[in-house]
A = this chain, B = another copy of it.
Amino acid sequence: MSRASDRAYSGIRSMILSGELPAGSQIGEEALAERCGVSRTPVRDALRRLESELLVKRNEAQRSFVADWSLDDIADGFELRAMLEGHAARRAAERIDDETLQRLRRCNIEILAAIQTNPPDVTGFLDGNREFHAVILEAAKSPRLAAMLGALIEQPVVWRTAQQYGREALRRSHGEHEELLAAFARHDGDWAQSVMTSHIRRAFHAYADAHQGLAAIDAGSGS
């Protein structure tokens, strides 16, 4: 993680996620290299990675831009996530061993702890959540599935709006994880898949609602 290429990657990535680099804006390799304190070579490397994750898009003349995600794009991403993570949950349920199941349980306990503080520890929740899903993905034992979902999970918009989630939404998420654990314990692939699918779809609508609110606020402050 200390290599220049990685610093460039995480640096550019956080610039995009934080909105420091606005969506749609052109990003020159030279400028990024300077801001990250590395040369263009690792920046190019990082841009390729980000491009494969669809955080960066390139026009026909190979210029790089920050990808702008329409609500349709985001819905598209969530739809794929629902399908792929549902599939992962099914495979995981059919293959999971007791030790991994225990890891998941501990993970969800940590998530609960993060929720119950006042105010809720959203960062802690997100970390726990990410690990929870990562363990399931690992248990699914499908390297290709893992590679694909890897690119999908880290959607920029989720990060910027996660702070908007209320305690109620966080608690519901924890509850759905509990139901997943029950499905895993019984090795019931069908159950796990449907729970995971609705888990993701609900997350999308929670996002869409929050985003709707944000857009209204933006429009209001703009006028």
Contact = CB atoms under 8 A, between A and B. Distances in A.
A145 B76 contact: yes
A113 interface: no
B76 A83 contact: no
Interface in A138-162: 142-145, 147-148, 151-152
A11 interface: no
Contacts of A142: 76, 79-80
A177 interface: no
Contacts of A145: 76, 80
A199 interface: no
A72 to B, nearest CB: 9
A88 to B, nearest CB: 11
Question: Which of A54, A83, A144, A151: most chain B Cβ within 10 A?
Answer: A144
A52 B54 contact: no
Contacts of A73: 143-144
A52 to B, nearest CB: 5
Contact of A80 (B44, B48, B144, B152): B144
A54 B144 contact: yes
Given A48-B48, A80-B142, A54 B87 contact: no
A contacts with B: majority SS? helix
Nearest to A44: B45
A128 to B, nearest CB: 26
A77 B143 CA distance: 9
Contact of A147 (B49, B54, B84, B87): B54
A54 B142 CA distance: 12
A74 to B, nearest CB: 10
Interface string A111-126: 0000000000000000
A143 B79 CA distance: 12
Interface string A43-55: 0110011001010
18 contacts: A45-B48, A48-B49, A52-B52, A54-B144, A54-B147, A73-B143, A76-B145, A77-B144, A80-B142, A80-B144, A80-B145, A80-B148, A83-B83, A83-B84, A83-B87, A144-B152, A148-B148, A148-B151
